[in-house]
Chains A and B, each alone.
Chain A
Amino acid sequence: MNKIVVALLVGFSFASGLFAQSSTPILSGGMQFVGTSNAGVDFFQPVISPVLAAPIGDHWLIESRGELQGFFAREDGTTGPYQGQFFTTLDYAQVDYIANSHLTVTVGRFLTPFNIYNERYGPAWIRNLQDPAIIYTIGTRTTASSNGFMFRGVAVAHDNWEWNYTAYFSALSNIKNLQSGRAAGGRTGIFLPDKGIEIGVSYQRFLQNGEYSAQGSYFVWQTPSVPLDVRAEYAHSPSGQGYWIEAAYRLAANRRNTTGLARLQPIARVQQFYAGTPSPTAFLPSRDTNRVDFGLNYYLPHEVRLNGSYGRQFTFRGNANIWDFQITYRFLFPAWPGGSK
């Protein structure tokens, strides 16, 4: 027992010295409460999603994100008392070696890099609309996370353009909370910083249960002169193909303004999905589906955001209204004593 205490103390001292030399590990992430009414069925989802980032020196980084999500709905769909349960997931737990600006090597569990939604707009405090895009599961099977290794970086960088890339391999895993598919793929894009434009393509080869490929492309335009963000994705797989395009406009003369009406951000998103060969494990609609969403963000001080949205879904079986209301809080604090100095 004493040996364990001594070992822990030595470990603690070593870690303190290590982190003091570099930077403080941080605990960040988001908390969210979402209320949804989907075609008359009401449900609530409290979510907490902490992120740990622990740099070790200038080249190594350990980072991880988990999620604790609750789902509460009425017993019989539209009647009866509310009941529910909590689920846990581990989105990523990875070790990164930042060799230089051109290459970062990642080992462990990481977010599958297909198009931009999964990696960039997954966190609740970042995405503008609560419901993920219909085509979100294309190219990110089976769980949107991969277990294996990944290479990424900026291959070529100039003042007015950059060429970035990501390539990965994932092994099959059926371990609880660590599930992943056997797959390989990557993404590459061109970014024009002065124009705020990024355009790129993605590819995934799924290497189990009958091999198949998924392809995708994406476009991001953040206008430099006015606070307008336009994002779009297209994805194709044997189970179907589709696209989404989203625009969000901050009611301000410029991006620096954060007072009064500048805290408001109207959002609109249009989606179309064309069903292919149905597959129960693809998590895609078996019929053609169209959807339009309108939302409004209000950015309160202290990293709190309110969001309300209305969506109309058009399907072969019938149309439906989807209402969402959410409040999100983004937090960030040092994960190590004395870290805020």
Chain B
Amino acid sequence: MKTVIPALATVLLLSALCLRIAARPQTSAEAQRAQTASHAKAKSSQEGERRFQANCGRCHNPPDSLSPREVKAVLQHMRVRAMLSAEDERLILKYLAP
């Protein structure tokens, strides 16, 4: 019994260490994925802002605040008025209603 308990403790400790080591790269990969997604979102929003300034900003300033569903209607209206492309509409939507 005296040898079983230290042996079990050793096994548990080793298992915990193995799990920690195995988990480390996974956490890092998840963090990297999250970081990449965040960068992509930020990049997409930046591109949306650039397209807003290039197209809509030629005539007026951005509105104070808009809900996502209002933005959709506004963008469809401006798609006709300012001849926005489908890609412009998608990116500006991300900028105005992230």
Which residues of A does B touch, CB under 8 Å? 22-26, 28, 51, 53-55, 58, 61, 63, 96, 98, 100-101, 104, 106, 119-121, 125-126, 152-154, 157, 164, 193-194, 196, 198, 220, 222, 229, 255, 258, 299, 301-303, 330, 332-334, 339-341
Q: Which of B54, B61, B80 has the most CB of A within 10 A?
A: B80
Taking a contact as CB atoms under 8 Å apart, the answer to whether B79 and A98 are in contact is: yes
Please count the residue pairs between chain A and chain B whose beta carbons lie under 8 angstroms apart in the complex: 99
Taking a contact as CB atoms under 8 Å apart, the answer to whether B76 and A55 are in contact is: yes
Contacting A at CB under 8 A, from B44-73, are 51, 53-55, 57-61, 63-64, 66-67, 69-70, 72-73
Q: Is B2 an interface residue (CB 8 A)?
A: no
Which residues of B does A touch, CB under 8 Å? 51, 53-55, 57-61, 63-64, 66-67, 69-70, 72-74, 76-77, 79-81, 83-87
Which residues in B have their C-beta under 8 angstroms from that of A63?
Answer: 77, 80
Known: A121-B59, A154-B85. A26 touches B79 (CB 8 A): no
CA distance A152 to B83 in the complex (A): 8
Which residues in A have their C-beta under 8 angstroms from that of B69?
Answer: 23-24, 334, 339-341
Chain A, interface SS category: strand
Chain B, interface SS category: helix
Taking a contact as CB atoms under 8 Å apart, the answer to whether B61 and A153 are in contact is: no
Of A23, A194, A299, which is within 8 A of B73 by CB? Answer: A23
Known: A299-B61, A334-B69, A341-B69. A28 touches B74 (CB 8 A): yes
Q: Which of A26, A119, A303 has the most CB of B within 10 A?
A: A26
Taking a contact as CB atoms under 8 Å apart, the answer to whether A101 and B86 are in contact is: yes
Which residues in A have their C-beta under 8 angstroms from that of B66?
Answer: 332
Which residues in B have their C-beta under 8 angstroms from that of A198?
Answer: 58
CA distance A81 to B76 in the complex (A): 47
